[in-house]
Amino acid sequence: MLSLDHWYAVLIMQQDRFKNPMITRYGYDVYFTIAAVCVVIIVIALLFIEPKSYRYSLIVVSLAFLGFTTNFFRDPERTTPKGENLIIAPADGKVIVTKRIHDDEFFHTDVEQVSIFMSPLDVHVNRNPITGTVRHTRYVKGEYFAAFEDKASEKNEQMIVGLEGANGKVMFKQIAGFVARRVVCLLKPGDTVNMGERFGMIKFGSRVDVFFPLSVNVRVQIGDITKAGETILGEYPRSESEKKIR
Protein backbone atom coordinates (compact mmCIF):
# COMPACT_ATOMS: atom_id res chain seq x y z
CA MET A 1 0.00 0.00 0.00
CA LEU A 2 1.32 3.44 -0.93
CA SER A 3 2.08 5.77 1.98
CA LEU A 4 0.51 9.17 2.66
CA ASP A 5 3.93 10.74 1.96
CA HIS A 6 3.85 9.25 -1.54
CA TRP A 7 0.42 10.69 -2.34
CA TYR A 8 1.44 14.06 -0.86
CA ALA A 9 4.48 14.15 -3.16
CA VAL A 10 2.35 13.22 -6.20
CA LEU A 11 -0.15 15.98 -5.36
CA ILE A 12 2.59 18.61 -5.13
CA MET A 13 4.16 17.54 -8.43
CA GLN A 14 0.79 17.67 -10.21
CA GLN A 15 -0.14 21.04 -8.74
CA ASP A 16 3.19 22.55 -9.83
CA ARG A 17 1.93 22.46 -13.44
CA PHE A 18 -0.43 25.30 -12.61
CA LYS A 19 0.32 28.89 -11.64
CA ASN A 20 1.89 28.87 -8.21
CA PRO A 21 0.27 30.74 -5.32
CA MET A 22 2.04 33.22 -3.08
CA ILE A 23 2.96 30.55 -0.49
CA THR A 24 4.97 27.50 -1.52
CA ARG A 25 3.19 24.16 -1.24
CA TYR A 26 6.30 22.72 0.37
CA GLY A 27 5.61 24.87 3.42
CA TYR A 28 1.85 24.50 3.80
CA ASP A 29 2.17 22.39 6.97
CA VAL A 30 4.40 24.86 8.82
CA TYR A 31 2.90 28.06 7.42
CA PHE A 32 -0.74 27.35 8.18
CA THR A 33 0.09 26.00 11.64
CA ILE A 34 1.92 29.21 12.51
CA ALA A 35 -0.81 31.33 10.92
CA ALA A 36 -3.49 29.56 12.98
CA VAL A 37 -1.54 30.04 16.21
CA CYS A 38 -1.03 33.75 15.45
CA VAL A 39 -4.74 34.24 14.73
CA VAL A 40 -5.70 32.50 17.99
CA ILE A 41 -3.29 34.70 19.97
CA ILE A 42 -4.68 37.84 18.34
CA VAL A 43 -8.28 36.83 19.11
CA ILE A 44 -7.42 36.02 22.72
CA ALA A 45 -5.59 39.33 23.06
CA LEU A 46 -8.56 41.28 21.69
CA LEU A 47 -11.10 39.55 23.92
CA PHE A 48 -9.32 38.85 27.18
CA ILE A 49 -5.98 40.61 27.63
CA GLU A 50 -5.68 43.71 29.80
CA PRO A 51 -4.17 46.29 30.07
CA LYS A 52 -4.17 47.57 26.50
CA SER A 53 -0.37 47.78 26.40
CA TYR A 54 -0.11 43.99 26.86
CA ARG A 55 -2.92 43.41 24.36
CA TYR A 56 -1.32 45.50 21.63
CA SER A 57 2.12 44.05 22.32
CA LEU A 58 0.81 40.51 21.74
CA ILE A 59 -0.97 41.59 18.56
CA VAL A 60 2.10 43.36 17.17
CA VAL A 61 4.40 40.42 17.94
CA SER A 62 1.94 37.94 16.38
CA LEU A 63 1.55 40.02 13.23
CA ALA A 64 5.30 40.49 12.93
CA PHE A 65 5.93 36.74 13.27
CA LEU A 66 3.20 35.97 10.74
CA GLY A 67 4.72 38.52 8.37
CA PHE A 68 8.17 36.94 8.71
CA THR A 69 6.72 33.46 8.08
CA THR A 70 4.80 34.66 5.02
CA ASN A 71 7.97 36.27 3.67
CA PHE A 72 9.97 33.09 4.25
CA PHE A 73 7.53 30.75 2.49
CA ARG A 74 6.86 33.03 -0.48
CA ASP A 75 7.29 31.48 -3.91
CA PRO A 76 7.56 34.06 -6.71
CA GLU A 77 7.46 33.10 -10.36
CA ARG A 78 10.79 33.14 -12.20
CA THR A 79 11.80 33.46 -15.87
CA THR A 80 14.48 30.88 -16.69
CA PRO A 81 17.05 31.78 -19.39
CA LYS A 82 17.06 29.62 -22.51
CA GLY A 83 20.12 27.61 -23.43
CA GLU A 84 20.96 23.91 -23.15
CA ASN A 85 24.55 24.75 -22.25
CA LEU A 86 23.58 26.79 -19.16
CA ILE A 87 23.71 25.83 -15.48
CA ILE A 88 21.19 27.86 -13.46
CA ALA A 89 21.26 28.67 -9.75
CA PRO A 90 19.10 26.23 -7.76
CA ALA A 91 18.75 28.68 -4.85
CA ASP A 92 18.35 32.32 -3.93
CA GLY A 93 21.14 33.76 -1.83
CA LYS A 94 24.75 34.88 -1.81
CA VAL A 95 27.72 33.06 -3.34
CA ILE A 96 30.14 32.24 -0.51
CA VAL A 97 32.41 29.64 -2.15
CA THR A 98 33.89 29.08 -5.62
CA LYS A 99 36.67 26.50 -5.67
CA ARG A 100 37.99 23.29 -7.20
CA ILE A 101 37.54 20.09 -5.18
CA HIS A 102 37.74 16.34 -5.69
CA ASP A 103 34.35 14.62 -5.68
CA ASP A 104 33.92 10.94 -4.80
CA GLU A 105 30.11 11.04 -4.63
CA PHE A 106 29.03 11.36 -8.27
CA PHE A 107 31.78 12.60 -10.60
CA HIS A 108 34.75 10.70 -9.12
CA THR A 109 37.12 13.38 -10.36
CA ASP A 110 38.01 17.05 -9.78
CA VAL A 111 35.08 19.45 -10.16
CA GLU A 112 34.14 23.08 -9.62
CA GLN A 113 32.10 23.92 -6.52
CA VAL A 114 29.84 26.95 -6.12
CA SER A 115 28.11 27.40 -2.76
CA ILE A 116 25.08 29.63 -2.15
CA PHE A 117 24.15 30.76 1.37
CA MET A 118 20.42 31.29 1.91
CA SER A 119 19.57 33.66 4.74
CA PRO A 120 16.15 33.49 6.48
CA LEU A 121 15.09 36.49 4.35
CA ASP A 122 15.73 34.74 1.01
CA VAL A 123 13.23 32.70 -1.01
CA HIS A 124 13.88 29.09 0.03
CA VAL A 125 12.21 27.21 -2.83
CA ASN A 126 14.81 25.29 -4.85
CA ARG A 127 14.84 24.79 -8.64
CA ASN A 128 16.59 22.39 -11.00
CA PRO A 129 19.89 23.76 -12.38
CA ILE A 130 19.72 21.87 -15.70
CA THR A 131 17.37 19.80 -17.82
CA GLY A 132 18.11 16.09 -17.58
CA THR A 133 17.60 12.88 -15.64
CA VAL A 134 18.15 12.18 -11.95
CA ARG A 135 20.96 9.60 -11.77
CA HIS A 136 21.81 9.67 -8.07
CA THR A 137 20.26 10.65 -4.74
CA ARG A 138 21.44 10.18 -1.18
CA TYR A 139 20.13 11.57 2.10
CA VAL A 140 22.63 12.25 4.88
CA LYS A 141 21.37 12.63 8.44
CA GLY A 142 24.09 14.86 9.83
CA GLU A 143 24.84 17.74 12.19
CA TYR A 144 23.58 21.34 12.20
CA PHE A 145 26.59 23.61 11.95
CA ALA A 146 26.07 27.17 10.66
CA ALA A 147 25.43 26.89 6.91
CA PHE A 148 28.17 29.39 5.97
CA GLU A 149 30.89 27.24 7.60
CA ASP A 150 32.94 24.99 5.29
CA LYS A 151 32.34 21.90 7.43
CA ALA A 152 28.58 22.25 6.87
CA SER A 153 29.09 20.95 3.31
CA GLU A 154 30.32 17.59 4.62
CA LYS A 155 28.81 17.20 8.10
CA ASN A 156 25.34 18.80 8.08
CA GLU A 157 22.06 17.13 7.28
CA GLN A 158 21.74 17.17 3.49
CA MET A 159 20.15 15.76 0.38
CA ILE A 160 22.56 15.00 -2.47
CA VAL A 161 21.24 14.84 -6.04
CA GLY A 162 23.14 14.02 -9.22
CA LEU A 163 21.69 15.03 -12.60
CA GLU A 164 22.82 14.17 -16.11
CA GLY A 165 21.82 16.35 -19.04
CA ALA A 166 22.70 16.78 -22.70
CA ASN A 167 26.01 18.47 -21.85
CA GLY A 168 27.08 16.45 -18.84
CA LYS A 169 26.57 16.07 -15.13
CA VAL A 170 25.67 18.44 -12.32
CA MET A 171 25.43 17.57 -8.64
CA PHE A 172 23.94 19.68 -5.87
CA LYS A 173 23.48 19.40 -2.12
CA GLN A 174 20.56 20.84 -0.16
CA ILE A 175 22.25 21.49 3.18
CA ALA A 176 20.38 22.23 6.40
CA GLY A 177 21.87 24.97 8.54
CA PHE A 178 21.90 25.79 12.25
CA VAL A 179 18.27 26.96 12.11
CA ALA A 180 17.02 24.87 9.21
CA ARG A 181 16.09 21.38 10.36
CA ARG A 182 14.20 19.97 7.42
CA VAL A 183 15.18 19.39 3.80
CA VAL A 184 12.34 18.83 1.33
CA CYS A 185 13.24 17.11 -1.96
CA LEU A 186 10.82 15.25 -4.24
CA LEU A 187 13.40 13.96 -6.71
CA LYS A 188 14.24 10.28 -7.10
CA PRO A 189 16.48 8.33 -9.50
CA GLY A 190 15.00 8.06 -12.97
CA ASP A 191 13.00 11.28 -12.78
CA THR A 192 13.18 13.61 -15.79
CA VAL A 193 13.51 17.28 -14.80
CA ASN A 194 13.46 20.63 -16.56
CA MET A 195 15.78 23.53 -15.83
CA GLY A 196 14.11 26.07 -13.56
CA GLU A 197 11.36 23.77 -12.26
CA ARG A 198 10.72 23.63 -8.52
CA PHE A 199 11.71 20.42 -6.76
CA GLY A 200 11.79 21.25 -3.03
CA MET A 201 13.05 23.63 -0.37
CA ILE A 202 15.08 23.92 2.83
CA LYS A 203 13.22 25.40 5.77
CA PHE A 204 14.61 28.33 7.79
CA GLY A 205 18.09 29.30 6.64
CA SER A 206 20.40 26.99 4.74
CA ARG A 207 22.86 26.46 1.91
CA VAL A 208 23.06 24.80 -1.51
CA ASP A 209 26.34 23.53 -2.99
CA VAL A 210 26.53 22.99 -6.75
CA PHE A 211 29.21 20.91 -8.50
CA PHE A 212 29.99 20.74 -12.21
CA PRO A 213 32.88 19.83 -14.58
CA LEU A 214 36.02 21.97 -14.72
CA SER A 215 35.34 22.65 -18.42
CA VAL A 216 32.37 24.81 -17.45
CA ASN A 217 32.88 28.58 -17.63
CA VAL A 218 31.94 29.87 -14.15
CA ARG A 219 29.80 33.01 -14.42
CA VAL A 220 29.62 34.02 -10.74
CA GLN A 221 32.08 35.00 -8.05
CA ILE A 222 32.09 35.26 -4.26
CA GLY A 223 29.68 37.95 -3.10
CA ASP A 224 27.30 37.70 -6.06
CA ILE A 225 23.56 37.49 -5.35
CA THR A 226 21.67 34.67 -7.05
CA LYS A 227 18.04 33.99 -7.87
CA ALA A 228 16.86 30.40 -8.23
CA GLY A 229 15.80 29.59 -11.77
CA GLU A 230 17.25 32.81 -13.22
CA THR A 231 20.92 33.43 -12.34
CA ILE A 232 23.44 31.68 -14.60
CA LEU A 233 26.12 29.91 -12.53
CA GLY A 234 28.07 28.47 -15.42
CA GLU A 235 28.11 27.73 -19.12
CA TYR A 236 29.40 24.70 -20.97
CA PRO A 237 31.75 25.53 -23.85
CA ARG A 238 29.67 25.68 -27.01
CA SER A 239 32.20 23.50 -28.82
CA GLU A 240 31.25 20.72 -26.40
CA SER A 241 27.51 21.35 -26.35
CA GLU A 242 26.71 18.01 -28.00
CA LYS A 243 29.13 15.98 -25.87
CA LYS A 244 28.43 14.13 -22.67
CA ILE A 245 30.97 14.50 -19.89
CA ARG A 246 31.26 11.25 -17.99
**Helices then strands (H, E): number in the chain?**
4, 14
Looking at residue 230, the DSSP 8-state letter turns out to be T
Q: Are 31 and 69 in contact (CB under 8 A)?
A: yes
Q: Is 45 helix (H, G, I), strand (E, B) or coil?
A: helix
Handedness of CA 188, 194, 198, 149 (dihedral sign): positive
Sequence-distant (6+) residues with CB within 8 A of 20 are 75, 77, 198
Known catalytic membership, residue 206: yes
* CB neighbours of residue 71 within 10 Å: 12
Torsion angle, CA of 114/144/156/154, rounded to 10 degrees? 70
Dmax over CA atoms of the chain, in Å, equals: 73
d(CA 119, CA 41): 27
Out of 57, 153, 206, 215, pick the active-site residue: 206
- Residue 2 sits at φ, ψ, to 5 deg, of -75, 140
Q: Are 25 and 12 in contact (CB under 8 A)?
A: yes
Residues taking part in catalysis: 206
